[in-house]
Amino acid sequence: MEPIKAFSGSVVALPINDIDTDQIIPARYLKVTDKAGLGAAAFTDWRYNADGSPKLEFPLNQEQYKGATVLVAGHNFGCGSSREHAPWALMGTGLKAVVSTYFADIFKGNALKNGLLPIVVDEDTQKQLISLSQEDPTTQVTIDLESQTLTLPDGRAVKFPVDPFSRYCLLNGVDQLGFLLNLDDETLAYEEKYPARVNTTA
């Protein structure tokens, strides 16, 4: 995985609460066996009419928001299903970060494992970002994972929380599986102490 440092990008707003993973990527697109191409189906039912034409009122379809890398959403982004296809699809549209007041637990974990930053801000900052994006689509913010700050156009830097381990992995471009594989001895010791109670292969 590529290390993630600081980046600047423009902001697109979806000021809707409780955006669930079925909206981010509907289940009918989950019959795949790889991660490729899911970006085309991101928010598909909000994004396209029945005849396949784009809904022009949907921000992600609007010319002025093309190239946005930061999505600011309503409260509780990513609720519902555990599908990791959700962050894969969002990243497939070019997004690098999603900003909300809080995220569903499973989505947050999935996003962090893929380098899509779930950025938790207070409600005032969320509202400010939504207005800034709507008033001026060229609005840029800077996100710095090292200092855990999101910097607004007026220079105000807002601190955001990230669990230290995810932050370390993202900054250094290492994945979490490697860490677990290195604990083989400890896992073996655990298994010796607590033998299995079921054997599914029996």
Partner 1 sequence: MSAQTLFEKVWNSHLVRPQTPDTPAVLYIDLHLVHEVTSPQAFTVLRERGLKVRRPDRTIGTMDHSTPTTPRGLDGLIPVTDVQAAAQLDVMTKNCQDFGIPLYKLGTENQGIVHVIGPEQGFTQPGMTIVCGDSHTSTHGAFGALAFGIGTSEVAHVLATQTLLQNQPQTMEVRVNGSLHSGVTAKDIILAIIAKIGVGGGTGYVLEYTGSAIRALSMEGRMTICNMSIEGGARAGMIAPDETTFQYVAGKPYAPKGADWDAAVANWRTLPTDEGATYDTLVELNADDLVPMITYGTNPGMGMKITDLVPDPDKLTDYSAKVALDKALTYMGLQPNQSLLGKKVDVVFIGSCTNSRIGDLREAAKFIEGRKVADGVRVMVVPGSQRVKAQAEAEGLDRIFREAGAEWREAGCSMCIAMNGDQLAPGQYAVSTSNRNFEGRQGKGGRTFLASPLTAAATAIAGVVTDPRTV
Residues that bind partner 1 (CB under 8 A): 15-18, 20, 22-23, 26-28, 30-35, 45, 50, 74-76, 79-84, 102-106, 109-110, 113-114, 163-165, 168, 175-177, 179-181, 183-184, 186-187, 190-191, 194, 196-202
User: In terms of CB distance, is 53 or 201 closer to partner 1?
Assistant: 201
CB of 119 to partner 1, least distance (A): 16
CB of 28 to partner 1, least distance (A): 5
CB of 111 to partner 1, least distance (A): 9
Q: Which residue has the tokens 């090292």?
A: 146
User: In terms of CB distance, is 39 or 153 closer to partner 1?
Assistant: 39
4, 117 contact by CB (below 8 A): yes
180 is written with which tokens?
A: 């677990």
Determine the Cα angle at 29 with ends 94 and 111, to 5°: 45
CB of 91 to partner 1, least distance (A): 13
User: In terms of CB distance, is 9 or 38 closer to partner 1?
Assistant: 38
The helix or strand, by DSSP H or E, that contains position 22, with its residue range, turns out to be helix 21-24
Sequential DSSP letters for 32-83: -SSSTTGGGGTTHHHHB-TTS-B-TTSGGGSGGGTT--EEEE-SSBTBS---
